[in-house]
Amino acid sequence: MSFSFDSKSGKLILLTAPSGSGKTTIARHLLQKYEELDFSVSATTREPRHYETDGKDYYFISSDEFKQRLENGEFVEHEEVYENQYYGTLQSEIERIWALGKSIVFDIDVKGAKNLKEQFGEQCLSIFIRPPSLEVLIERLTNRKTESEDSLKKRIKRVTNEMDYENYFDVVLVNDILDVALIESEHLLERFVYGGASKYHELQKAKQTRN
């Protein structure tokens, strides 16, 4: 895809993993800590869960609207994750965040991350978040109790396949002990966005001095 905006102006942090691996928790942690980041809100045709907010967690749109916007060339990437259940990243979302001068955090499925990495290359830091084992992952998904048995079976089948994709990405981060994974994700981000932890801390000191 060719972009009408300056596609070399910003950086992308792709947090990808099978469902239940903890990528959303890590994404929220990074967004809370680093003010130079903003979250890319994906569009989806699935129904919102009771705790989700339109425009914050996802843009919830109809299948017809999704297909129309796809036909209009408004998506950077998209995928039919399950039958008649689409997800995608809108070009306008990337434009919005880069216009603020911020780097973009994506909480995105494996194929979506792969597509973005292929398009944006070295502008991306792609982190595959892996659970300590497939058994632990299945246990986490089962304990969620947020979907029907049939839906859970489909999700387990999908995540089993997604575990094979880790070598496509820049870094594999094992989320066994969450606190350790959070610290490791901070180090990875600081190197990529700021050029290292020392430069990040220098930036924070400079901001404090100005204030």
Helix/strand/coil (H/E/C) assignment for every residue in the chain: CCCCCCCCCCCEEEEECCCCCCHHHHHHHHHHHCCCEEECCEEECCCCCCCCCECCCEEECCHHHHHHHHHCCCEEEEEEEECCEEEEEEHHHHHHHHHCCCEEEEEECHHHHHHHHHHHHHHEEEEEEECCCHHHHHHHHHHHCCCCHHHHHHHHHHHHHHHHHHHHCCEEEECCCHHHHHHHHHHHHHHHHHCCHHHHHHHHHHHHHHC
pLDDT band at 138 (very low <50, low <70, confident <90, very high): confident
Structural domains of the chain sorted by starting position, each given as residue range(s) with its CATH number in brackets? 13-210 (3.40.50.300)
pLDDT tens per residue, range 165-179? 999 999 999 999 999
33 and 21 Cβ atoms separated by less than 8 Å: no
Provide the Cα torsion 2, 78, 66, 90; round to 10°: -50
pLDDT at 159 over 90: no
Q: What is the pLDDT of residue 183?
A: 96
Smallest CA-to-CA distance from 85 within 129, 32, 48 is with 48
Nearest residue to 130 via CA among 85, 84, 168, 100: 168
Per residue in 139-158, pLDDT tens? Answer: 877 777 766 777 777 777 87
Q: How confident is the model at residue 203 (pLDDT cuts 50, 70, 90)?
A: confident
Tell me the average pLDDT across 174-185: 95
CA distance 21 to 116: 20
- Position 1 scores a pLDDT of 44
